[in-house]
Amino acid sequence: MEHSHGSHGHGSHGGHSHGGDRPDDEASMADVLDLDAEVVRPYLEELTAWAAGHAKTAPHTILDIGAGTGTGTLALARRFASADLVAVDLSPNMLDRLQAAAGAAGIADRLRTVQADLDPAWPAAAIGTADLAWASSSLHHVADPDRVLANIYEALNPGGLLVVVEMDAMPRFLPDGVYPGMEERCRQAGARNGWNAWPNWTGHLERAGFTVAEERTFAIDLRPAPPAANRLAHRILGGMRGRLADQLPPEDIAALDRLLDPADEEFVLRRGDLEVRSARTAWAAHRLTE
């Protein structure tokens, strides 16, 4: 999702990106990943349904590349109830958290985890082959994505499907008219710092041998926001305040301080007017039947 924003640390293969979270705080990253999944669960269900529509056959084995805490893994497990799942991540702590979540969801017997750094080499023997591969907000963090895409192509069975997902920008939480422009200026500052930067993957996929079936943007617009959005907004706005303070105008810093102050009437954890507006782009690509 990954959280290194341009570096290749744990973020190389980590899950869903939220630029406001600190890359050296893995537990905090994990909390944000899980909060995000709770908030945008309807989108995750729509996304996996879209993936199912592009699968040529029901997958027997699904590979989640950069699984993080497993928000995508669990969504895929719900969608494809008979599939086995292989989750790959650099972080053993993330994989431990995923295994615990899989146990709570009753799918532990269907899950196998692989702790690996994909930058040095693809661990083909550990990963094996799959019918569906999934890379959500992780591909742009590997050092050589073209090589990794070629590895994924080889790992897919003929006719297999790869789904690549990227977050278009940091989510927005405040209604129009509340601190106008502040969230957009934060997003722009994050973009200047390389947070969550990624290319259009179509050409990369085709060079690796894939046939791209569809590129689609999924709009997320939750009004009113679900209850967990307050906690997610608090974590993301707090991260922005901590990391962008020297890049924002004073009025934006003052607005963030009010939103993050438990003694202030604007405190984000108590607001009842939050929204969640974001977008994510996905590619569905096939390895042709041989």
DSSP assignment of 72-91: HHHHHHHHSTT-EEEEEES-
Burial of 92 (0-12, 13-18, 19+ CB in 10 A): exposed
pLDDT digits (tens), the chain, 290 positions = 333 222 233 333 433 333 333 344 777 778 888 888 889 888 999 999 999 999 999 999 999 999 999 999 999 999 999 999 999 999 999 999 999 999 999 999 999 999 999 999 999 999 999 999 999 999 998 999 999 999 999 999 999 999 999 998 789 999 999 999 999 999 899 888 878 779 899 999 999 999 999 999 999 999 989 999 999 999 999 989 999 989 999 999 999 999 999 999 999 999 999 999 999 999 999 998 75
Check if the beta carbon of residue 135 is closer than 8 Å to that of residue 66: yes
- Supply 212's token pair: 């791209």
Which amino acid belongs to residue 128? G
Whether residue 180 is preceded by a cis peptide bond, meaning omega within 30 degrees of 0, is no
Check if the beta carbon of residue 158 is closer than 8 Å to that of residue 279: no
pLDDT, residue 139, reads 94
pLDDT, residue 67, reads 95
Check if the beta carbon of residue 41 is closer than 8 Å to that of residue 271: no
Distance, CA of 265 to CA of 109 (rounded, Å): 48
Distance, CA of 10 to CA of 109 (rounded, Å): 26
Check if the beta carbon of residue 201 is closer than 8 Å to that of residue 13: no
**Residue 58: how many other CB atoms lie within 10 Å:** 12
C-alpha dihedral, 61 to 66 to 68 to 71, nearest 10°: -50
C-alpha distances (whole Å) from 260 to each of 32, 172, 184, 250, 269 are 16, 15, 18, 15, 8
Distance, CA of 177 to CA of 174 (rounded, Å): 8
Distance, CA of 149 to CA of 215 (rounded, Å): 17
Distance, CA of 31 to CA of 144 (rounded, Å): 28
Distance, CA of 75 to CA of 113 (rounded, Å): 16
Check if the beta carbon of residue 237 is closer than 8 Å to that of residue 20: yes
pTM, two decimal places: 0.89
Q: Cα-atom radius of gyration of the chain, to the nearest Å?
A: 19
C-alpha distances (whole Å) from 116 to each of 45, 64, 88, 96, 102 are 28, 12, 7, 14, 19
pLDDT, residue 290, reads 58
| Three-point CA angle 246, 248, 251, nearest 5° | 120
